[in-house]
Amino acid sequence: MRASRRSFLKTSALGAGAAIAAPYMFVRTIDQAWGATSWIKKGEPIKIGLLFSLSGGLAVPEEDSTLVMQYAIDEINKAGGIAGMPVEPVIVDAKSDFNVYSEKTKELILRNKVVAIFGCYTSASRKAILPTVMAQDHLLYYPTCYEGAECTQNTICTGPLANQHSKDLIPFMVEQFGKKVFFVGSNYVWPKESNKNAKIWLEKAGGELLGEEYIPLGSSEFGPVLNKIRDAKPNFIFSTVVGASDIAFHKQFKQEGFKVDTMPIASLTTGEIETRAMGNEFGAGHFLSAPYFQALDNPTNHKFVEGFLKSKYGKNGTTHYNMEETYLSAYVFKYGLENTIKAVGIEGVTPRAIRDHSAGVRVEDAVSPEGLIWIDDQNFNTWLKPKIGQCQADGSFKIVKAAAEQVAPDPYSIYPDIGKCTADGLKAPDGKMRKSVI
Amino acid sequence: MAAGSFFGSFDPSAFINALILGISIASIWLIAALGLTIIYGTAGVINMAHGEFIMLGAYSSYMLQNYFGLPFLLCVPAAFVIVAAVGLVLERGLIRYLYKRPLDTLLATFGVSLVLMQGVRLIFGSDPKYLAVPSIFTSNFQLGFVNISAFRVIVLAITIAAVVALWALFYRTRFGVQVRAVMQDKEMAASFGINSDRVYMLTFALGAGLAGLAGSLFGVLNIVLPTMGMGYVVQAFLVVVVGGGTLIGSVVAGGATGELQSIFAYFTNDTFARFVLYVLIVVFLRVRPQGLFAPSATRR
pLDDT at B17: 86
Does position B257 have pLDDT exceeding 90, yes or no? Answer: yes
The pLDDT > 90 percentage for chain A reads 48
| Contact flag B270-A248 (C-beta cutoff 8 Å) | no
Does position A403 have pLDDT exceeding 90, yes or no? Answer: no
Distance from C-alpha of A289 to C-alpha of A296, rounded to nearest angstrom? 13
Closest CA to A346 of A30, A82, A117: A82
More reliable by pLDDT, B88 or B40: B88
First to last CA, chain A: 45
* Chain B environment of A316 (Cβ under 8 Å): 125, 127
| Contact flag B222-A220 (C-beta cutoff 8 Å) | yes
Q: Read off the pLDDT of residues A377-395 as tens digits, 9 standing for 90 and up.
A: 989 999 999 999 999 998 8
Distance from C-alpha of A331 to C-alpha of A203, rounded to nearest angstrom? 37
Tell me what the pLDDT averaged over chain B comes to: 88
* Chain A environment of B266 (Cβ under 8 Å): 224, 227-228
pLDDT at A49: 94
| Contact flag A248-B125 (C-beta cutoff 8 Å) | no
* Chain B environment of A230 (Cβ under 8 Å): 17, 147
Crossing angle of helices A98-106 and A123-135, rounded to 10°? 30
Of B14, B25, B227, the CB nearest to A57: B227
Size of interface A-B (CB pairs under 8 A): 118
| Contact flag B24-A231 (C-beta cutoff 8 Å) | no
pLDDT at B1: 36
| Contact flag B262-A55 (C-beta cutoff 8 Å) | no
pLDDT at A67: 93
Q: Read off the pLDDT of residues B173-182 as tens digits, 9 standing for 90 and up.
A: 999 999 989 8
Helix (H) or strand (E) holding A279: none
More reliable by pLDDT, A65 or A276: A65
pLDDT band for position A346 (cuts 50, 70, 90): confident
| Contact flag B125-A316 (C-beta cutoff 8 Å) | yes
| Contact flag A224-B274 (C-beta cutoff 8 Å) | no
Q: Read off the pLDDT of residues B209-253 as tens digits, 9 standing for 90 and up.
A: 999 999 999 998 888 888 888 889 988 999 999 998 889 999 999
Helix (H/G/I), strand (E/B), else coil: B58 = helix
More reliable by pLDDT, B244 or A1: B244
Beta bridge partners of B73: none
pLDDT at A203: 92
Which residues does A contribute to its contact with B (CB < 8 Å)?
55-57, 59-60, 63, 187, 213-216, 218-221, 223-225, 227-228, 230-231, 244, 247-248, 251-252, 254-257, 273, 276-279, 281-282, 315-316
Closest CA to A161 of A381, A376, A436, A427: A381
* Chain B environment of A223 (Cβ under 8 Å): 21, 24-25, 152, 262
Does position B286 have pLDDT exceeding 80, yes or no? Answer: yes
pLDDT at B64: 94
Distance from C-alpha of B261 to C-alpha of B248, rounded to nearest angstrom? 20
Please compute the mean of the pLDDT values over residues A320-326 and round it to a whole number. 92
- Are A437 and A221 a contacting pair, CB within 8 Å? no
* Chain A environment of B21 (Cβ under 8 Å): 223-224, 227
Helix (H/G/I), strand (E/B), else coil: A151 = strand
* CA distance to partner chain B, nearest, from residue A392 (Å): 17
- Are B185 and B69 a contacting pair, CB within 8 Å? no
Tally the C-alpha atoms within 13 A of residue B118's C-alpha that lie toward its C-beta.
8
Of B14, B118, B132, the CB nearest to A227: B14
The pLDDT > 70 percentage for chain B reads 95
Of B21, B128, B138, the CB nearest to A224: B21
Please compute the mean of the pLDDT values over residues B247-276 and round it to a whole number. 91
* Chain B environment of A252 (Cβ under 8 Å): 149, 221
Please compute the mean of the pLDDT values over residues B25-32 and round it to a whole number. 93
Of B25, B225, B273, the CB nearest to A244: B225
pLDDT at A357: 92
Q: Read off the pLDDT of residues B124-156 as tens digits, 9 standing for 90 and up.
A: 887 788 888 888 887 888 887 888 888 899 999
* Chain B environment of A214 (Cβ under 8 Å): 269-271
Does position A9 have pLDDT exceeding 80, yes or no? Answer: no
Does position A123 have pLDDT exceeding 80, yes or no? Answer: yes
pLDDT band for position A210 (cuts 50, 70, 90): very high
Collect all residues with Cβ–Cβ distance below 8 Å to B175 and sequence separation of at least 6: B169, B199, B202
| Contact flag B269-A213 (C-beta cutoff 8 Å) | yes
Tell me what the pLDDT averaged over chain A comes to: 86
A408-417, B18-27, B64-73, B80-89: which range is least confident on average?
A408-417
A23 DSSP 8-state letter: H
Closest CA to B271 of A238, A214, A184: A214
pLDDT at B68: 92
* Chain B environment of A213 (Cβ under 8 Å): 269-270
Q: How deeply is A38 buried, as exposed, middle or buried, from its count of CB atoms within 10 A (0-12, 13-18, 19+)?
A: middle
pLDDT at B294: 77
Give the pairing type, strands A236-240 and A287-290. Answer: unpaired
What is the number of helices (H) and of strands (E) in chain A?
14, 18
Does position B6 have pLDDT exceeding 90, yes or no? Answer: no
User: Hey, what domains does chain A have and what are their CATH numbers?
Assistant: 46-160+298-375 (3.40.50.2300), 164-290 (3.40.50.2300)
Q: Read off the pLDDT of residues B46-94 as tens digits, 9 standing for 90 and up.
A: 899 999 999 999 999 999 999 999 999 999 999 999 999 999 999 999 9
More reliable by pLDDT, A30 or A312: A312
Beta bridge partners of A400: none
pLDDT at B260: 92
* Chain A environment of B215 (Cβ under 8 Å): none
pLDDT at A412: 87
Closest CA to A65 of A363, A403, A400, A325: A325
| Contact flag B125-A315 (C-beta cutoff 8 Å) | yes
Chain-centroid distance of CA B205 in Å reads 14
Of B121, B225, B262, the CB nearest to A224: B262
Distance from C-alpha of A403 to C-alpha of A165, rounded to nearest angstrom? 11
* CA distance to partner chain B, nearest, from residue A154 (Å): 31
Of A56, A215, A223, the CB nearest to B21: A223
Which residue does chain A place closest to B28, by CA atoms? A221
| Contact flag A248-B223 (C-beta cutoff 8 Å) | yes
pLDDT at B4: 40
pLDDT at B296: 59
Of A256, A276, A278, the CB nearest to B149: A256
pLDDT band for position B293 (cuts 50, 70, 90): confident
Give the pairing type, strands A116-119 and B146-149. Answer: unpaired
H helices within chain B, ranges in order?
2-6, 12-38, 50-68, 72-93, 102-124, 150-172, 174-184, 186-191, 196-221, 229-243, 247-267, 270-287
Collect all residues with Cβ–Cβ distance below 8 Å to A403 and sequence separation of at least 6: A167, A168, A385, A386, A387
Beta bridge partners of A146: A161
| Contact flag A220-B220 (C-beta cutoff 8 Å) | no
Q: Read off the pLDDT of residues A34-59 as tens digits, 9 standing for 90 and up.
A: 445 578 888 889 999 999 988 777 77
Closest CA to A336 of A76, A63, A136, A152: A76
| Contact flag B273-A224 (C-beta cutoff 8 Å) | yes
A82 DSSP 8-state letter: B
Helix (H/G/I), strand (E/B), else coil: B162 = helix
pLDDT at A32: 47
- Are A150 and A411 a contacting pair, CB within 8 Å? yes
pLDDT band for position A302 (cuts 50, 70, 90): very high
